[in-house]
Amino acid sequence: MLRRPVGGPATMREQLLALVEACAEPHIRIHVVPSTVGEYAGLNGPFIIATAPDHRIAGYLDNQVQGQVVSEQAEIAAILAAWENVRGETLSHWQSVDLIKEVAQSWQ
């Protein structure tokens, strides 16, 4: 999605450079799935995995109609498995940052 124009070239460049800047924070990691990857679990839709201070894990699934918070152990296991599948297809953090920088420069 780094190359899908949303908001015009200037907006795309600014947004991508904002991601690169955010990656300077030690707690932020970005992992890009290359466009050459075929089908993978991330295509089923966006999800978030959140860990509370007491180490409880919750998930959030999103679609065009509504979002859904999940906390059942089986659901969390499924989301964690999906994340591992997605993560297995991604570039490393620094490879991802380099790619984002490269694509940002192309939006001029």
Amino acid occupying residue 6: V
58 and 17 fall within a common domain: no
Q: Where are the alpha helices (DSSP H) in 4-64?
A: 9-22
Q: How many domains does the chain have?
A: 2
29-61 pLDDT per residue, tens? 999 999 899 999 889 888 999 999 999 999 999
62-80 pLDDT per residue, tens? 988 999 999 999 999 999 9
Domain that holds residue 11: 1-32+91-108
23 and 44 fall within a common domain: no
Is the CB of residue 33 less than 8 Å from the CB of residue 42?
A: yes
51 and 83 fall within a common domain: yes
Confidence of residue 86 (pLDDT cuts 50, 70, 90): very high
51 and 64 fall within a common domain: yes
The pLDDT score that the predictor gives to residue 91 is: 96
76 and 44 fall within a common domain: yes
CA 7 to chain centre: 20
20 and 2 fall within a common domain: yes
77 and 99 fall within a common domain: no
The pLDDT score that the predictor gives to residue 76 is: 95
28 and 50 fall within a common domain: no
Residue 49: left if φ>0, alpha if ψ -120 to 50, beta else—which one? beta
51 and 79 fall within a common domain: yes
Residue 66: left if φ>0, alpha if ψ -120 to 50, beta else—which one? beta
17-33 pLDDT per residue, tens? 999 999 999 889 999 99
pTM: 0.81
The pLDDT score that the predictor gives to residue 64 is: 85
Confidence of residue 11 (pLDDT cuts 50, 70, 90): very high
7 and 22 fall within a common domain: yes
